[in-house]
Amino acid sequence: MSPPLTTLPDPSGFAPHFVIDPDIVYLNHGSFGACSEEILRAQDTHRRNAERELVDFYVHNAWPLLDRSRRALGSLVKCAPEDLVFVHNATTGVASIATNHHLNPGDEILITNAAYPACANNLRRAADRAGASVNVVNLPWPNVTEDLIIDTIMGAVTPKTKLCMLSLVVSSLGYRLPVETLIPKLREQGIETILDAAHGPGCIPMDIETWNPAYTTGNAHKWLCAPKGAAFLHVRKDLQHGFRPLVLSNDARNPEEAGKRTGRSAFNHEFDYAGTDDVSPYLTIADAIQWLSSLFDDGMEGLMAHNHALCMRGRDALLDVLNIEAPVPESMLGPLCTLPIGSLSQNVNDIKAALRKDHKIEVPVWTAPDGSPILRISAQLYNTEAQYTYLARALDTLRA
Ligand SMILES: Cc1ncc(COP(=O)(O)O)c(C=O)c1O
């Protein structure tokens, strides 16, 4: 057991807004997000409004409230609101795409070795059913550059490649893929892109309309701090006709006609009511954006810049103690940063357990897709620079 450090570092001024246990140094916003008190209260208000008059809520009131969140999200990720629908998580987003996108026998889907497993699994099932296959390309790690990524991914394209899934921010390696270059390059070769932006809204600036992927899914329950079960799916206009939710509901036999009743497209209508459900996570997305935007003079841009700068200060503290060069240029990072920890002699499970049990630090310690040990830090409002210094000192005691 490594010797315990002194007292835990002071939390940030924003920490009292969050429900997170103050006795844990929580450096893992990236895995599940964390809600603020304000956001949980907003969700509670939506739930109570529903429970006061359920028929009014489900038959009338929920629709404009869904549109309110759709507008707030559309303006953040830069797309027409009506091209967005809500799903419970990015996994469901990819599963919906996998079910709807037509594949022919022999087609190939290109993914990276750092694709999120749940999303990759849904594509594999779709490929199996269609007699298609999934081709995996290895992302660079460490010594990462945008050019290297572009060459690596484009070099893995074959004449059979028809669909490609790219993470906007790669979960395990923490870096952003140059999607603004990759998506048009792939499309020039007849390949459509699924953009997995689970770490997207509120994490780094997004511009769906300019990037123009066929499909985008992203979580609001990560970097927008929305309640769990709040995510979106964007489908490019030319692919929306006949794009159906995984679960068909009452109006599935004539969604166009039903959509006229609720003043929306068949695409919006079918996703907006997929059976009785708690839609409060979706409705709270607008409140989460509003609250986060209110904290900085320049709104969400300010929040993203704050979290990125904090993450970089944390990275510097860790590079120092690990005595390594940065594996990824700063320009490819947002509020997440992964570092190689091969200089520590323990295995990843022992490091993880020591950090959690001896030092009360929650931080992911994993193996990278290439099998090498890594650690990923996240930076969100409730974190402070002192917490990363504390982590650095904890790693130092492990080395000793
Ligand atoms: C890149 C990426 N895609 C998809 C997911 C899955 O998100 P969810 O569990 O909300 O479906 C994650 C989760 O961390 C992720 O990092």
What pTM does this model have?
Answer: 0.97
Final residue in a domain of this structure, among 292, 322, 356: 292
* Banded model confidence at residue 3, pLDDT cuts 50, 70, 90: low
The answer on 304 and 214 residing in a single domain is: no
The answer on 343 and 273 residing in a single domain is: no
Q: How many residues does the chain have?
A: 400
Give CA separation, 235 vs 117, 131, 208, 382, in Å: 22, 24, 10, 34
* Closest residue by Cα to residue 240 from 121, 360, 100: 100
Going by DSSP bridges, is the β-strand pair 365-367/373-378 parallel, antiparallel, or unpaired? antiparallel
Q: Is residue 4 part of a domain?
A: no
Residue 264, domain CATH = 3.40.640.10
Determine the atom of ligand 1 nearest the C-alpha atom of 219: 10
The answer on 31 and 126 residing in a single domain is: no
Establish whether residue 168 lines the binding site of ligand 1, counting it when its CB lies within 6 angstroms of any ligand atom.
no
Q: State how far the Cα of 294 lies from the Cα of 100, in Å rounded to an integer.
A: 38
* Banded model confidence at residue 7, pLDDT cuts 50, 70, 90: confident
**Residue 5 pLDDT:** 75
Establish whether residue 91 lines the binding site of ligand 1, counting it when its CB lies within 6 angstroms of any ligand atom.
yes
Q: Coil, strand, or helix at residue 300? A: helix
* Closest residue by Cα to residue 213 from 227, 197, 224, 231: 197
Tracing tokens 């953009």 back to the chain, one arrives at 195
Q: Coil, strand, or helix at residue 339? A: strand
Mutate to test the pocket of ligand 1, among 86, 87, 89, 224 (most ligand atoms within 8 A of CB): 89
| Nearby residues of 174 by Cβ (< 8 Å), 6 or more positions away | 30, 328, 333, 336, 337, 338, 376
The answer on 65 and 182 residing in a single domain is: yes
The answer on 301 and 224 residing in a single domain is: no
Expressed in angstroms and rounded, the spacing between residue 28 Cα and the centre of ligand 1 is: 13
Expressed in angstroms and rounded, the spacing between residue 399 Cα and the centre of ligand 1 is: 32
Expressed in angstroms and rounded, the spacing between residue 336 Cα and the centre of ligand 1 is: 14
Helix count and strand count (H, E) for the chain = 15, 12
The answer on 65 and 154 residing in a single domain is: yes
Residue 329 backbone dihedrals phi, psi, to 5 degrees: -65, 150
The answer on 153 and 29 residing in a single domain is: no
Establish whether residue 192 lines the binding site of ligand 1, counting it when its CB lies within 6 angstroms of any ligand atom.
no
Of 4-18, 353-367, 385-399, minimum mean pLDDT range:
4-18
Average pLDDT (9-26) is 94
Give CA separation, 253 vs 230, 258, 292, in Å: 27, 9, 40
Q: Which domain holds residue 333?
A: 15-37+297-399
pLDDT at 212 over 90: yes
Determine the atom of ligand 1 nearest the C-alpha atom of 168: 1
Give CA separation, 139 vs 80, 115, 151, 250, in Å: 32, 10, 10, 44
The answer on 311 and 177 residing in a single domain is: no
pLDDT at 358 over 90: yes
Establish whether residue 219 lines the binding site of ligand 1, counting it when its CB lies within 6 angstroms of any ligand atom.
yes
**Residue 2 pLDDT:** 60
* Banded model confidence at residue 1, pLDDT cuts 50, 70, 90: low
**Residue 48 burial (C-beta neighbours within 10 Å; 0-12, 13-18, 19+):** exposed
Over residues 90-149, the pLDDT tens digits come to 999 999 999 999 999 999 999 999 999 999 999 999 999 999 999 999 999 999 999 999
Residue 293 is encoded by which pair of tokens? 């935007």
Q: State how far the Cα of 380 lies from the Cα of 362, in Å rounded to an integer.
A: 14
Q: Is residue 355 part of a domain?
A: yes
Domain count, the chain: 2
Q: Coil, strand, or helix at residue 50? A: helix
* Closest residue by Cα to residue 383 from 38, 31, 41, 20: 20
The answer on 182 and 236 residing in a single domain is: yes
Final residue in a domain of this structure, among 242, 277, 292: 292
Establish whether residue 116 lines the binding site of ligand 1, counting it when its CB lies within 6 angstroms of any ligand atom.
yes
The answer on 120 and 48 residing in a single domain is: yes
The answer on 308 and 208 residing in a single domain is: no
**What are the strands of the beta sheet with 215-219, ordered from one edge?**
84-87, 231-235, 215-219, 192-197, 161-167, 108-112, 133-137
